A and B are shown apart, each in its own frame.
Chain A
Amino acid sequence: MTVPTAPSASTPAAALQGAAAGDRIFRALLTLAALAIPVLLGFLVYELVQGSELAIQRYGFRFLTTSTWDPVTDEFGALPLIFGTLLSSFLALLIAVPLSLGVAIFITEFAPSAIRRPIAFIVELLAAIPSVVYGLWGIFVLIPFLRTTVFTFLKGTFGFLPFFQGPVYGQSMLAAGIILAIMVMPYIMSVTREVLAVVPASQREAAMALGATRWEAAWTAVVPYARSGIVGAVILGLGRALGETMAVTMLIGNRHEIAASLFAPGYTMAAAIANEFSEASTDMHLAALSYVALVLFGVTVIVNALARVLIWRVSKGRQSGGAGL
Chain B
Amino acid sequence: MTERIANSEQRTTGAIDVADFSFSYGPRQILNNVSFSMPSKAVTAIIGPSGCGKSTFLRSINRLNDLIPETKHAGDILVDGRSVYTRGIDLVALRLGVGMVFQRANPFPKTIYENVAYGPTLNRLVAPRDLPATVERCLKQAALWDEVKDRLDTPATGLSGGQQQRLCIARALANDPKVLLMDEPCSALDPIATQRVEELIVQLKASYTIVIVTHNMQQAARVSDVTGFFDRGELIEFGPTEQIFTAPSKERTEAYITGRFG
CB contacts (< 8 Å) of B91 on chain A: these are: 213
Q: Which of these, A211, A224, A317, contacts B92 with CB under 8 Å?
A: A211
Instruction: Tell whether B69 is near chain A: CB-to-CB under 8 Å.
Output: yes
B106 and A210 form a contact (CB under 8 A):
no
Instruction: Tell whether A206 is near chain B: CB-to-CB under 8 Å.
Output: yes
B95 and A211 form a contact (CB under 8 A):
yes
B106 and A224 form a contact (CB under 8 A):
no
Instruction: Tell whether A203 is near chain B: CB-to-CB under 8 Å.
Output: yes
As a 0/1 sequence over residues 220 to 233 of chain A, the CB contacts with chain B under 8 angstroms (1 = contact) are: 11001100000000
B109 and A224 form a contact (CB under 8 A):
yes
A224 and B102 form a contact (CB under 8 A):
no
Instruction: Tell whether A201 is near chain B: CB-to-CB under 8 Å.
Output: yes
CB contacts (< 8 Å) of A11 on chain B: these are: none
B109 and A202 form a contact (CB under 8 A):
no
Instruction: Tell whether B172 is near chain A: CB-to-CB under 8 Å.
Output: yes
Assuming the contacts A202-B102, A210-B172, A319-B158, asked whether A224 and B62 have C-beta atoms less than 8 A apart, the reply is no
Chain B nearest CB, measured from A209 CB (Å): 4
B109 and A205 form a contact (CB under 8 A):
no
Assuming the contacts A318-B157, A319-B157, asked whether A211 and B122 have C-beta atoms less than 8 A apart, the reply is yes
Question: Complex Cα distance A213/B90, Å?
Answer: 10
B67 and A224 form a contact (CB under 8 A):
no
Chain B nearest CB, measured from A232 CB (Å): 16
B69 and A202 form a contact (CB under 8 A):
no
Instruction: Tell whether A321 is near chain B: CB-to-CB under 8 Å.
Output: yes
Number of A residues near B (Cβ < 8 Å) is 25
Instruction: Tell whether B100 is near chain A: CB-to-CB under 8 Å.
Output: yes
Assuming the contacts A220-B122, A318-B155, A319-B157, asked whether A209 and B108 have C-beta atoms less than 8 A apart, the reply is no
Question: Complex Cα distance A245/B200, Å?
Answer: 65
B175 and A224 form a contact (CB under 8 A):
no
Which residue in chain B gives the minimum CB-CB distance to A113?
B69
Assuming the contacts A200-B106, A318-B157, A320-B109, asked whether A209 and B92 have C-beta atoms less than 8 A apart, the reply is no
Q: Which of these, A113, A204, A208, A225, contacts B109 with CB under 8 Å?
A: A225
Assuming the contacts A211-B123, A211-B175, A216-B122, asked whether A206 and B102 have C-beta atoms less than 8 A apart, the reply is yes
Instruction: Tell whether A49 is near chain B: CB-to-CB under 8 Å.
Output: no
Instruction: Tell whether B96 is near chain A: CB-to-CB under 8 Å.
Output: yes
As a 0/1 sequence over residues 104 to 119 of chain B, the CB contacts with chain A under 8 angstroms (1 = contact) are: 1011111100000011
B108 and A224 form a contact (CB under 8 A):
yes
A209 and B62 form a contact (CB under 8 A):
yes
Which residue in chain A gives the minimum CB-CB distance to B115?
A206
Instruction: Tell whether A325 is near chain B: CB-to-CB under 8 Å.
Output: no
Which residue in chain A gives the minimum CB-CB distance to B66?
A208
Q: Which of these, A209, A220, A320, contacts B99 with CB under 8 Å?
A: A209
Chain A nearest CB, measured from B31 CB (Å): 19
A201 and B158 form a contact (CB under 8 A):
no
Question: Complex Cα distance A213/B111, Å?
Answer: 22
As a 0/1 sequence over residues 67 to 97 of chain B, the CB contacts with chain A under 8 angstroms (1 = contact) are: 1010000000000000000000001110110
Q: Which residues of B contact A (CB under 8 A)?
A: 62, 64, 67, 69, 91-93, 95-96, 99-100, 102, 104, 106-111, 118-119, 122-123, 155, 157-158, 168, 171-172, 175
